[in-house]
Amino acid sequence: MTRFVEGNQIKLLCNGTEFFPALKAAIDSAKREIYLETYIFEDDITGKKISDALKRAARRGVTTHLMLDGFGSLSLQRTILDDLLEAGVQVLIYRPERDFFRLHRNRLRRLHRKIALIDTQTAFVGGINIVDDRDMPGQTSPRFDYAVQVQGPLLQDIYASVKRLWGLVSWSQLKLHRHSRLRRIVTRVAGNMSAAFVIRDNIGHRRDIENAYLEAINQAKVEIVLANAYFLPRRNFRRALIRASARGVRVVLLLQGRVEYVLLHYATRALYGVFLDSGIEIYEYHESFLHAKVGTIDGEWSTVGSSNIDPFSLLLAREANVVVRDVGFAVQLRASLEHAMEKGARVMTAEAWKHQPIHNRLLSWLSYAAVRLLMGVAGYGRNRIQG
């Protein structure tokens, strides 16, 4: 069962337009301690603003921690890291990429979560990397994504998670001087919102994010709206959605319409037929690249985070989501998704899908088979993928 904490204030941030100014302002106001974890950190206009803010914080005496994924941030130049280190920023690379051409089980175990914790007073959790969200070929609108700003008692759980991971990676890389003891922090009630911090790792939280979704889906009575960049759920998740639709719940999926990663894009489409035949609505987002990993159910339950609903997020990567039980928050997220579906998406009907060119449908099934093969090569067999 998902463990909810009362007394929080959770603010929804849509796209980098809202997220990056809030993050930069929080870093610039930090007085004691900063933790920032991200999958991608680019040396573009956005990355420079955040790295400069981190350096300013370190120079004024704030203990500043930056953890980057070794694959997602592979393109970040060593000179950028040296500048951060020289300024006093402590930098760790999660699973440094050393053998680019070798596929093995651990290769796909990435740090995919995006978390910032400032002075144990404010945290940011979501799906937005440190990268200019307008810097994509053929794109005028920003990537469609979300994060949340968190204040209140939930910070205790977020603090424990980032502190524990920093210590684990420090120990594994023999940088023990970087690790300080986990302490109990005092967090005041900041609002009246009930929320949970849910992670996925390969130790004690393998299915927590997936189970949080399934709990809410299985209890849904009116409506389920999921927006996900890479949607390739296991069998139990698919069945939960189909059962919800069968009992009269409106089920809506907002999925990637543009082709960003060919294999995952077409593998996702292999599931369209069974969803559409079950009465599930599918919208494909075309205005920009969809990067969101959010959902809202029955106008009360919502989640925002880093976890896709695909084998890579649900079986391999380190992920983090915030789950919120609050009507006002759910209404705001629902309205944002509705606007995206109306203005930037195209509905896929069962009739239109059945009349897809045969080569498109063949490509979808070949891509789906390839993803399953890839997971099998990485050490995750059919039962783990299919559920």
Residue 24 annotated to the active site: no
Catalytic residue among 208, 291, 310, 326: 291
Q: Is 163 among the catalytic positions? A: no
Q: Which one-letter DSSP state was computed for residue 386?
A: H
The answer for residues whose C-beta is within 8 angstroms of residue 172's C-beta and 6 or more apart is none
235 Rama sector, left if φ>0, alpha if ψ -120 to 50, beta otherwise? alpha
Six-digit token pair at 106? Answer: 């651990």
Which residues does 13 contact at the CB level (< 8 Å), separation at least 6? Answer: 19, 22, 124, 126, 128, 146, 147, 148, 149
CA distance 158 to 261: 31
Examine the residue annotation and report whether 55 is marked as an active-site residue of this protein: no
114 catalytic per annotation? yes
Give how far Cα 65 sits from Cα of 8, 81, 135, 174, Å: 25, 12, 26, 16
The helix or strand, by DSSP H or E, that contains position 219, with its residue range, turns out to be helix 208-219
With b for 16 or more beta-carbon neighbours within 10 A and e for fewer, the 204-221 pattern comes to ebeebbbebbbbbbeebe
How many helices (H) and strands (E) are present in the chain, helices listed first? Answer: 13, 15
Compute the distance between CA of residue 295 and CA of residue 87 in angstroms, rounded to an integer: 39
Whether 298 is a known active-site residue: answer yes
| Encoded tokens for 103 | 């596929």
Structure tokens at 109: 């175990």
112 is annotated as an active-site residue: yes
Cβ–Cβ contacts within 10 Å for residue 97, how many? Answer: 14
- Pick the catalytic residue: 55, 65, 114, 265? 114
| Residue of 112, 201, 208, 326 with catalytic role | 112
Active-site residue, from 119, 175, 205, 286: 119
Give the residue numbers annotated as catalytic, written as ranges.
112, 114, 119, 291, 293, 298
